[in-house]
């Protein structure tokens, strides 16, 4: 059964509270929208903590981003939401936040694009990194354009994460998956580096999506996500003895005339 506008307002307030409680947003960060119909978008206002909103704080705007109802002002990142709705007719909700670990990857210039966890491969495929763009300007979305048709979660370089889905709860869950993936990838790096799945195993996961009723637009393409075979050789592990290591160091010092 379709939810009423009031129920959807309550959903947005709830998602804002969850994001705040999880530490994904500080101060007035983040924004959430729902496409109500062909003409109207329900949006969080600017200048308000998304963890402390009331359903009446939300506003309605049209598909040009102009406010049509509400006391507060529209989010400055509305253009990003409108771009996603314009390119993806299947999408009914967009959620943007700054979850710290995934945003750390984005700030380090690193996509979350390794084939590491079955759940992430099934649900998202890969999480690409969109080029940096100045917030509040069209540049913010320019770097995302190549990825929006295929992917449902994007890292935004030096900024944060945006996820979108058929409803606001699913969009929130996608953000949760991205942040959880980022945390696990970081721990795997601290423990000696992730063991990326081989191509054949990643393909099996893509093939099993229909069985799990997963509706996503991406297919397994080379490097999206990266398979074990795609990983740069710099991560390749080699074994040498202590004696061999000392010999290499001696040789290097001799070449530089140190000893
Ligand atoms: Zn932001």
Question: What integer pLDDT is reported at residue 238 of this predicted model?
Answer: 75
Question: What integer pLDDT is reported at residue 37 of this predicted model?
Answer: 95
Distance, CA 118 to ligand 1 centroid (Å)?
28
Question: Taking the complete model, does pTM exceed 0.95, yes or no?
Answer: no
What CA–CA distance (Å, rounded) separates 200 from 133?
36
Question: What integer pLDDT is reported at residue 232 of this predicted model?
Answer: 78
Distance, CA 177 to ligand 1 centroid (Å)?
18
CB 218 within 8 A of CB 114: no
- State pLDDT tens for residues 148-201: 999 999 999 999 999 999 999 999 999 999 999 999 999 999 999 999 999 999
Distance, CA 245 to ligand 1 centroid (Å)?
47
Distance, CA 82 to ligand 1 centroid (Å)?
15
Distance, CA 103 to ligand 1 centroid (Å)?
10
Question: What integer pLDDT is reported at residue 236 of this predicted model?
Answer: 62
In total, the chain counts a number of residues equal to 259
Q: Let me know if 215 is exposed, middle or buried by CB neighbors in 10 A (0-12, 13-18, 19+).
A: exposed
Return the closest-CA partner of residue 53 out of 31, 36, 69, 34. 31
Distance, CA 96 to ligand 1 centroid (Å)?
6
Pick out the chain residues at pLDDT < 50.
none
Distance, CA 184 to ligand 1 centroid (Å)?
23
């Amino acid at each position: 059964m379709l939810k009423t506008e009031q129920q959807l307002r309550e959903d947005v307030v709830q998602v804002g509270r969850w994001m705040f409680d999880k530490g994904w947003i500080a101060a007035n960060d983040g924004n959430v929208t729902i496409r109500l119909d062909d003409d109207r978008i329900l949006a969080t206002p600017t200048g308000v903590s998304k963890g402390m909103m009331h359903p009446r704080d939300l506003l309605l705007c049209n598909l040009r981003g102009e406010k049509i109802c509400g006391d507060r002002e529209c989010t400055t990142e509305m253009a990003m939401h409108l771009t996603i709705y314009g390119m993806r007719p299947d999408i009914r909700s967009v959620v943007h936040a700054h979850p710290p670990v995934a945003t750390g990857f984005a700030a380090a210039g690193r996509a979350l694009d390794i084939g590491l966890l079955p759940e992430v491969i099934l649900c998202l495929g890969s999480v690409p990194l969109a080029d940096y763009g100045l917030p509040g300007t069209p540049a913010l979305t320019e770097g995302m354009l190549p990825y929006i048709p295929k992917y449902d979660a994007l890292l935004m370089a030096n900024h944060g994460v945006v996820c979108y889905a058929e409803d606001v709860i699913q969009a929130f869950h996608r953000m949760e998956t991205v942040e959880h993936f980022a945390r696990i990838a970081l721990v795997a790096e601290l423990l000696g580096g992730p063991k990326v799945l081989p191509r054949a195993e990643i393909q099996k996961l893509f093939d099993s999506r229909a069985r799990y009723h997963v509706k996503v637009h991406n297919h397994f393409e080379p490097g999206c996500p990266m398979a074990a075979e795609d990983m740069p050789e710099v991560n390749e592990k080699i074994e040498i003895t202590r004696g061999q290591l000392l010999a290499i160091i001696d040789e290097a010092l001799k070449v530089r005339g140190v000893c």
